[in-house]
Amino acid sequence: MPTVLSGIQPSGQLHLGNWAGAIRQFVDLQRDHDLFVFVASYHALTTTRGEELRSATRQVVIDYLAFGLDPHRAHIYLQQDVPEVTELAWILSCVCPKHLMDKAVSFKDKVARGLSASVGLYTYPILQAADILIVDADLVPVGKDQVQHIEITRDLAAKFNHHSGQEVFKLPDYRLAEHAQVLPGVDGEKMSKSYGNTIDPFMEEKALRKRIMKIVTDPTPQEEPKNPESCTVFQIFQGVTGAGDPRSQALADRYRAGGMGYGHAKQDLYELLMDTFSEARQRRAQLMAHPAQVDEVLAMGAAAARERAAQVMARVRSAAGL
Ligand code: ADP
Ligand code: TRP
């Protein structure tokens, strides 16, 4: 079975965009892959720390499980529970030419957005390479913004292999999310926790409905036909059902026919979310009430990840002469 690895940074509450672009794919992959899914807590140290980091880390695990990751099919763990990752990151940093980091766009983007330009933020891709290489991953499902990081990972793996004259590392491939389209937020821009425009499918019912009613729409009067493709409400609806789904086709027909106001479409979206996430919402409430179950999942996941990491690190240390 091919090994697949992916992770999300615990830098805030997960949202519908994270589900559509990442987590839904993890849930699909767990059926026929050896899946490692972790919470990138060391990476999150580039932007947050302390109690904020601790609670966000916990929340991501609970959300992973609530959205349907099964701890008996996937290894779910915290990056900080596999400290070998930082050892490997150091070893990789010693074969990483500085210009490879200078080329990385995510550092420049993040600094331009106001993040502090720490050395950790600068070498972030090396730590990500270590996450991937330490489990011998064949495949990494990612969003478009992460493709350069996988290329850097392949580059570092190949350099280390070349230096040591052995195939120490497997070179991983990436896979873009099937529904690679970006989900917009309530303001029509890319849904992102940094823009404050997210929809959280675990919100309390009334608050969720209110949030959906806030989605910005154009002033076309109720009677007139409307274009579904250009409407944020429809884009989110279709992002959740998938493009060929009869429910989104039916909604598109109602847009084009006229006589339907945006309020109706929003109500439909609200009902779709309540329906799609009803099991996830129940599971989440149950997990929040039973923290010991979450600890157990993490202990299991960490044990599996460390076992794999130990095998890979034995090869790496030997090849490096340590
Ligand atoms: P954010 O933009 O909220 O900070 P991250 O950058 O931490 O989210 O992304 C975590 C994962 O979720 C990545 O795999 C990313 O591709 C996916 N993702 C984030 N926002 C969206 C979105 N609006 N639409 C689709 N996928 C998204
Ligand atoms: N950099 C990724 C993001 O911002 C998170 C991440 C860290 C990751 N390590 C990883 C993703 C390894 C895939 C594989 O979304």
pLDDT (tens, 9 = 90+) of the chain, 322 residues, equals 999 999 999 987 899 999 998 999 999 999 999 999 999 999 999 999 999 999 999 999 999 999 999 999 999 999 999 999 999 999 999 999 999 999 999 999 999 989 999 999 999 999 999 999 999 999 999 888 899 999 999 999 999 999 999 999 999 999 987 656 789 999 999 999 888 999 999 999 999 999 999 999 999 999 999 999 999 999 999 999 988 899 999 999 999 999 999 999 999 999 999 999 999 999 999 999 999 999 999 999 999 999 999 999 999 999 999 9
How far is Cα 152 from Cα 160, in angstroms, rounded to an integer? Answer: 12
CATH of the domain at 18: 3.40.50.620
**Residue 84 alpha carbon to ligand 2 centre in Å:** 17
Q: How far is CA 261 from CA 186, 221, 231, 253, in A?
A: 17, 7, 12, 13
Structure tokens at 310: 């130990």
Both 38 and 143 in one domain: the answer is yes
The preferred substitution site among 107, 127, 142 for testing ligand 2, maximizing ligand atoms within 8 Å of CB, is 142
Domain membership of residue 65 as a residue range: 3-182+291-320
Both 313 and 270 in one domain: the answer is no
186 HSE (CA, 13 A, CB side): 18
Query: Contact 7/131 with Cβ under 8 angstroms?
Result: yes
CATH of the domain at 271: 1.10.240.10
Both 13 and 117 in one domain: the answer is yes
**Residue 178 alpha carbon to ligand 2 centre in Å:** 18
Q: What is the pLDDT of residue 180?
A: 61
Q: Does 192 reside within a domain? A: no
Both 26 and 168 in one domain: the answer is yes
In 10 A of CB 295, how many CB atoms? 12
Burial of residue 269, with CB atoms counted within 10 A of its CB: 0-12 exposed, 13-18 middle, 19 or more buried: buried
Q: Does 194 reside within a domain? A: no
Annotated active-site positions, please? Answer: 110, 190, 193
Q: What is the pLDDT of residue 177?
A: 72
- Picking from 82, 181, 60, the residue whose alpha carbon sits closest to that of residue 135 is 82
Both 143 and 231 in one domain: the answer is no
Both 266 and 301 in one domain: the answer is no
Both 268 and 309 in one domain: the answer is no
What is the rounded (10 degree) CA torsion for 134, 103, 112, 46? 20
Both 37 and 115 in one domain: the answer is yes
Ligand 2 site residues, Cβ closer than 6 angstroms = 5-9, 40, 43, 128, 131-132, 140, 142, 146
Q: Does 57 reside within a domain? A: yes
Q: Whose CA is nearest to atom 22 of ligand 1?
A: 17
Both 295 and 262 in one domain: the answer is no
Task: Give this prediction's pTM.
Answer: 0.94
State the total domains in the chain: 2
Both 33 and 125 in one domain: the answer is yes
- Picking from 5, 28, 32, 43, the residue whose alpha carbon sits closest to that of residue 312 is 5
Question: Looking at this protein, which amino acid is placed at residue 264?
Answer: H
Q: What is the pLDDT of residue 143?
A: 83
